[in-house]
Amino acid sequence: MWRTAVVVGAVLQVAIPVVGFPLGLDVGRVSDDNPTLVEPAGYAFGIWTPIFLLCFAYAAYQVLPSQRSDALLGRIAPFAALVFVSNGLWQILFPLRLFVAAQVVFVLIFVGAVVAHLLVQRGCDPRNRAHCWLAAPTFGLLSGWVTAAFLVGLATTLVGLGELGTGSAGALVGAGLLLLGGLISAAVILAGRDGPVLGYGAYAAAVLWALVGVVVNQYGSSLITTIAAVTAAVAVVAVLLDTLRRSRPPTAGRSTRQRVI
């Protein structure tokens, strides 16, 4: 049942905006009507194309008869279904300006995506290349982008409710959200560092893509949020590089020196 829901959700999260746009369900227009100082440049949202393609590939793979007995895919399925279906629902609620309901749904998307990502990172069998080469980048890229989008969406929600503007208060709140996003991202990378590099690497790449988009879009509008975005990006890069360094097997010479010391 859950695996079927994954397939249905993968289709819905793409079909709903395609069908809804002619009916007035325009996410971009509503976002433009509620500007924030943490919104990335428009090109950054192009990351949804590889995310959707990976989601389709993963959804098709996990329902193959040969994968029915795969325990890891079975554990991921409820969370993947939650993310995909909730993403489709969000694309109805947000354009209707139901900001609070949309943000509540985004919590489900965020939690489901991060849990699915960490399940892959901690349960991936290196002997199963499909896990490492398909599931890991799918949920790494998805959860990384969702981490950034969740906090950007929170700022948009506050603007839509009339609780936040684009003045100094908006800049300070936005900077706080960006720094919080950097901390969350660093924690997620560390939590999944024992898994495939493609997983935590894709996660970090998606977060950095979003942060660079914020810098590009906001450097002329807010020095505060720009500095916060750069600071968060530096923190993510530092954690990523340290994780990559620690994941390298030591050389024989290096191991000998370490034992001597």
CB count, 10 Å around CB of 206?
Answer: 26
| Closest-CA residue to 169 (of 227, 222, 233, 97) | 222
Determine, yes or no, domain membership for 193. Answer: yes
Contact call for residues 98 and 104 (beta carbons, < 8 A): no
Could you give the CA distance from residue 108 to residue 106 in angstroms, rounded to a whole number? Answer: 5
Q: pLDDT tens across 127-182, in order?
A: 777 777 889 999 999 999 999 999 999 999 999 888 887 788 889 999 999 999 99
pLDDT of residue 249: 56
Determine, yes or no, domain membership for 241. Answer: yes
Q: pLDDT tens across 95-116, in order?
A: 999 999 999 999 999 999 999 9
Record the tokens describing residue 85, joined without a space.
Answer: 């279906």
Determine, yes or no, domain membership for 257. Answer: no
Chain mean position to CA 94: 18
Domain that holds residue 190: 2-248
In the numeric block, the tokens 């279906």 are attached to 85
Q: pLDDT tens across 222-258, in order?
A: 899 999 999 999 999 999 999 888 876 554 444 333 3
Could you give the CA distance from residue 73 to residue 92 in angstroms, rounded to a whole number? Answer: 28
Record the tokens describing residue 89, joined without a space.
Answer: 């629902």
User: What total number of domains does the chain contain?
Assistant: 1
Determine, yes or no, domain membership for 98. Answer: yes
Determine, yes or no, domain membership for 218. Answer: yes
Contact call for residues 148 and 210 (beta carbons, < 8 A): yes
Q: Average pLDDT of 196-224?
A: 94
pLDDT of residue 248: 64
Q: How far is CA 101 from CA 52, 67, 124, 154, 170, in A?
A: 23, 36, 34, 12, 22
Determine, yes or no, domain membership for 256. Answer: no
Contact call for residues 229 and 218 (beta carbons, < 8 A): yes
- What's the predicted TM-score (pTM) here? 0.90
pLDDT of residue 240: 94
